Each structure stands twice: as structure tokens, then as C-alpha cells.
Structure 1
Amino acid sequence: MDIYKLKKILSRYLKGQSNETESALVEAWYRSYDAEEKPLDNSEAIALRNSIKSRIDADTLKPRIISTRAFRIAATLAIFSVVGLSTWKFSHRKANNEAYTIVITGTKGLKELKLPDGSTVWLNAASRIKIPEAFTGPRREVVLEEGEAFFDIKHDAEHPFIVHSAPVNVQVLGTSFNVRAYKALQTISVAVATGKVGITGKSKTLAMLLPGQQLSFNTLTGEIAQSNVNTDFSQSWKKGYTYLNQASFNELALVVKNIYGLSLKPANKKIANYRFSMRLVHNMQSKQILDLISQLHHTHYRKEGTDIILY
């Protein structure tokens, strides 16, 4: 449901103006997070509505004691109306201290992970992902906090799979796709290998991608760009190869740092503006990779402390 329509329903519910269907929707939504609670009867619904309103208006009223049940839904409704369903669900889980596993890879690191539903995730170097120990509720959700991951998700039409990588969310039912979200690049890219992938940001749909399509989202400007890509290239890092296509110096430096542990720096602005297209083999020696980079634009390199200066 569109977030704006839902906010209107919640507003009518709080004012006692919602119809029977809308009231049932709100109350069923609430009960879905606590299935053992008995259904609300009419008097409970009225009391709950009044308590919610009291909670939301608490900044202008004297403190008062409300039931734990009403407090919980009031707080979540307030959050829900601002940030949307998918983001709220993760806030709700965090508030209830559900168990998570955080997996981190360092420089030159690569991990293959099995999710609670049997899906598989490959985590690239210098990455961090948060995974619940069990998927509960209507959605399967993980948070890619930093880095790059390839997801091969088991199909489950009843439980969408969502990757949160602020400020973008990626939602699928069952497919395979790559997400790159290194903060240093200030760009989040999603490339689809199989199936269909939906991408949202700021409570709106940014794109629906099919195999061979990629979306890039600029985290600074909010600009998006869609392109066609070679799906083998976008996931080749799992097999020990990385392809760069007109990559910026910053992107090249990040890849070189993550794969080889080398800190690459430009000697001047001209070199900083170069673009790089190349295939990097992860088990190459440091000298081999630096020689290869230098050949592209006929540059040289020298070592200064822990930095490799390209000049």
C-alpha cells in the first residue's frame, strides 16, 4: 500500500472516522506483530484509539499512564507514518532486541553466508552485513551496512526479501542480484542477474530492474542512472576477478585497497581525473597490478610511506 494512503487511514482511525474495513486493517496490522493476543473488541478498539491519540499528543498534555499495549502501537504508528513500512519493521525489531549476526570482512576478505531461509550471500572485501538469526513476520530483511554483496535468494511469494542499504531498499521475492554500497564511493549500485528487483528510496519506487540491468544511486545528490551491464562481470569478484569499466580514480583506489591492501594516491589533479577500464586478477602480485595500472595512461608510481603515488 502507498505510504500516503496508509497515513490517511491512520489519521482517520485516530479521529474515529475510519470505516469498518480501515479499522480492521489497522487493528489486524497491529495484531500481526503479536499473534497470541486476542482480537480487539469494540470497547478495546475505542480505548486503543484514544490511547494512541493521547500518546501522539503527549508533548502538549500532562504525563499519563497508558497500557503497554497502547504505548507500543502508538510509538510504532508514529514512526511508521514518517519512515514507511520496511524501515519501520527493522526499527521495531531493533527495539525488541531480536538476535542478529553481524558479519564483517576485512581487506582481501571474502565470505559465503547461508541465510535462515536457505538463501546464499557472498560478501566482498571490506564489507559489513547484519542478518537476523531467524526470519520472522511477513518479510525477510537484512542490512548491508557497508560494502558489496551478491544475493541468491530463494523464492517465497509470501515473504518478500528486502536488503536495506540506506537510503535505498532492494526488494525481491526470489532472484539473484549484486549490491555495491561502499560509502567512500558515494554511490549505491544494484545489478540484476536473474529475476526482477524493485528498488525504493524515500518512500517511492526508483526502478524495477530485469536481468542485465543496473541502477546507480548518488547518495549525495539523489540522482539515479539506469544502464545495461554484463551480469558475469558484476559478480565476477566471487571467482577472483574484478572488472572496471571507465572507473574513476577513487573507485580504482578502493578496489586496489580492498583486494591488494595498497593505498593508491594520485600525484596531481590530472591523474585524479583519469578513467580506468581493466580486469584485475585478485591473486596478482603487488608489482604486477601497479605495472598494469601504470600502462593504461603511461604513468609511473613510487612508494611514500604506506602510500603508492601514481605520477
Structure 2
Amino acid sequence: MENKKDKDLSEAHLDKLIHQAWHKPVKPNSKKLWQRIDKSIKAPHHVMWKSIAAILVIALLTVASLSLFNPDNPSVLVEVNNTGKTPKEILLEDGSKVLLNRNSAITYTTENSRMLTLKGEAYFDIKKDENHPFRINTGELHLTVLGTSFNVNAYENSQEILVSLVEGKLKVIANQNQEKNLSPGDELIYNKATKRISLNNFNTNTVLAWKSSLIKCENASLDFLLDRLENYYAIAIKNKADYSNCKISGEFKSDLSLDEIIEIISFSHNIDFVALSEHEYKIEGKMCD
């Protein structure tokens, strides 16, 4: 009697497992497989085959459940680069827009596109979401916004990081626990050498000219233009600081070749750019007073 009782309990336990497995969400082809297996084990005395079938079905459903219904699946890392000569527009999943300057990149995950890393320069038009602030990391600065428009210039080779607020409100925190709240028209300047931040006003036409593939200089230091040449064309100008007192005004198309822009600057300032290697230059000529 005990053997029969144990046998009945064993079958009941297997039936329960199969019933639980059957009611898990699965693909249609998994149901068809179970139906084929079920037809082959209708006879109640085929306990061994029913056991094997139960094990197969439970294994199949477990794999399907792990691959299709696991909420802990790791998110995918997305990196968008702009290696072209003109700005590149990216539309994020939340409706926010990013305009990426040349030789720049953003990185974020599919799980949360409202938290990203920036290398280079980008203009952000962020969709407002009070429950999910938009966060940007440049490596040394951390920006937090709800809904606003602003420009971030954070090229690795530049001595400064510039954050220029066009609309809305923006909070910026530096690695040294310095914190600033920006209002429209404010430009935050972070000096990488001194690790200090300061606020200034900015000229929208000059700062945002790159959105139209232009470089605008309005009585600007020659450093301003040389910095952009280094970042846009991936070059180094060894002694550019010697010419920081030189001023320049004008408008340049950023999709011109490097040789074309160098020729314009050389003619206007009576200086020469001497190539030291394929990506390295120095300037020769009279320095400005």
C-alpha cells in the first residue's frame, strides 16, 4: 500500500509541476511542442515517459522565461560619434534632442537615455520631466537639468570646459564640490588646470555658430579660433599661447579643409603655420603686442 501511495503522490507532484509550467507565458511554438509531448503520454501507466516529458517542458519554459521575461536583462550601451564635417542630430527616446559637433561623442544606456556622457561639444534641447532629471557627465563636470536648452564644450584637448545656458535652469557641479546654478545668458567656465569655475556672459551668435557649420570670431583672441582648429581637425599647435594677444574677427566655414583655413589666418595676421608632423604644427611670425 505504501508503494502505491508513494507512486500516487509522485504522479500528483509531477502533474502539479507540469500544470505550473503550462501556465507560464511562452512562445506559440513552445505550446505546440508541449501538445505533441502531451499526446504521447495520455496513458496513465506511462509514468516514466511523463516524468521525462515534464522535465523537458520545465527546462524549455525556464530557458524561454529567462531570455524573454527577465526584467534584469543588462541594458545595452549606446555610443554615438560624429566623425563628419557637419553637426549630427540625435533624437533620444524621451524626445530630447542632441546636436553633436564634429569629433564629438555621447554615450548612454538603453535603460536610461536621460543620463549620458559627453566628449567634445553638443547642444542639448531637453524635454522636461520633473520626476527624471537629465544628467550629463563630462568627466570633470556633472550637469543636472529638468527641461532646458544649453551648449557644452568639453573637448579633451581644451584647457577649459564651457557650459552656456540659452533657456531654462541648469545646475553644474565640479569634482571639487563646487556648485553653480545658471540662468539664461550665463556661461560657466571651468579651468582644468586650477579646477576652479567662474561665470560670465556669452554671445549666442558666436557660441552657437557651429550649429550652422560656422566658426564666428568677433574681436576674439586668436586662441579661440586655434582651439577650434585643434578640436575640429584633430591637430596640435605647439606654441599657440605665444599668440594669445592677437585678435581676430571673421566668419569661417567649419567644413573647409585645414589648409584653406590656415591660409586665411596666415594672410590676415602675416604668420606661417609650419608642419612638424602630420598632425602637429607651430606658428612662426611676428607676435601681437
Calculate the TM-score normalised by the size of structure 2. 0.63
Give 1:86-235 correspondences, 5 Å limit: 97-106=74-83, 108=85, 110-135=87-112, 140-144=114-118, 146-202=119-175, 204-235=177-208
C-alpha distance in structure 2 between counterparts of 1:216 and 1:223, whole Å: 8
Matching residue's letter, 1:237: W
Q: Provide the secondary structure at the position in 2 that maps to 1:116.
A: coil
Percent of aligned pairs sharing the same letter = 30
Separation in 2 of the partners of 1:120 and 1:238? 13
1:289: which partner in 2?
261
Offset of residue 123 of structure 1: 0.8
Q: Distance in 2 between matches of 1:199 and 1:268?
A: 29
User: Per-residue CA shift, 1:198-234, capped at 9, x if unaligned?
Assistant: 1112374521111111001112211112110122322
Cα distance, 1:284 vs structure 2: 3.4
98-107 or 167-176, which moves further after superposition? 98-107
Q: Which amino acid aligns with 1:300?
A: D
CA distance in 2, matches of 1:268, 1:254: 9
What is the Cα-based RMSD across aligned positions, in Å? 3.0
Q: For the residues of structure 2 that align with 1:151 and 1:184, how far apart are their CA atoms?
A: 21
Give yes or no for contact 1:116–1:134 (8 Å, CA) kept in 2.
no
Q: Does the 8 A contact of 2:165 with 2:185 survive in 1? A: yes
1:78-135 Cα shifts (integer Å, max 9, x gaps): xxxxxxxxxxxxxxxxxx8432211112263531101110100011111121122243
Cα distance in 1 for partners of 2:245, 2:175 equals 32
In the alignment, residue 265 of structure 2 is paired with which amino acid? Answer: I
What SS does structure 2 have at the residue aligned with 1:185?
coil
Unaligned ranges ≥5, structure 2: 1-72, 285-289
Per the TM alignment, residue 271 of structure 1 is displaced from its structure 2 partner at its CA by: 3.9
Pair 227,295 (structure 1): closer, same or farther in 2 beyond 3 Å:
farther
Distance in structure 2 (CA, Å) of the matches to 1:304 and 1:104? 28
* Amino acid corresponding to residue 251 of structure 2 in structure 1: R
Could you report, residue by residue, the CA deviation over 1:129-186 in whole angstroms, capped at 9, with x for unpaired residues?
11222438xxx31111x20111000111121111111221111110000111111113
What's the secondary structure of 1:169's corresponding residue?
strand
Count of aligned pairs between the two proteins:
211
Cα distance in 2, alignment partners of residues 161 and 179 from structure 1: 14
Assess if the C-alpha contact under 8 Å between 1:266 and 1:272 holds in 2: no
Letter in 2 for 1:101: V
Structure with greater Cα Rg: 2
Q: Matched residue of 1:118: which SS?
A: coil
Q: Matched residues in 1 for 2:189 and 2:139: separation? A: 13
Q: Which amino acid aligns with 1:163?
A: I
- The Cα of 1:273 is off from its aligned counterpart by 6.5
The structure where strand makes up a greater share of residues is 2
1:297 Cα shift? 2.8
Are the structure 2 counterparts of residues 267 and 186 from structure 1 closer, same or farther at C-alpha, using a change threshold of 3 Å? closer
Inter-CA distance 99–305: structure 2 relative to 1 (3 Å threshold): closer
Residues 190, 310 of structure 1: alpha-carbon distance in 2 compared, 3 angstrom cutoff: same
What's the offset of the Cα at 1:302?
Answer: 4.6
Q: Which residue of 2 aligns with 1:38?
A: none
Gaps of 5+ in 1: 1-95
Q: What is the SS of the residue equivalent to 1:211?
A: coil
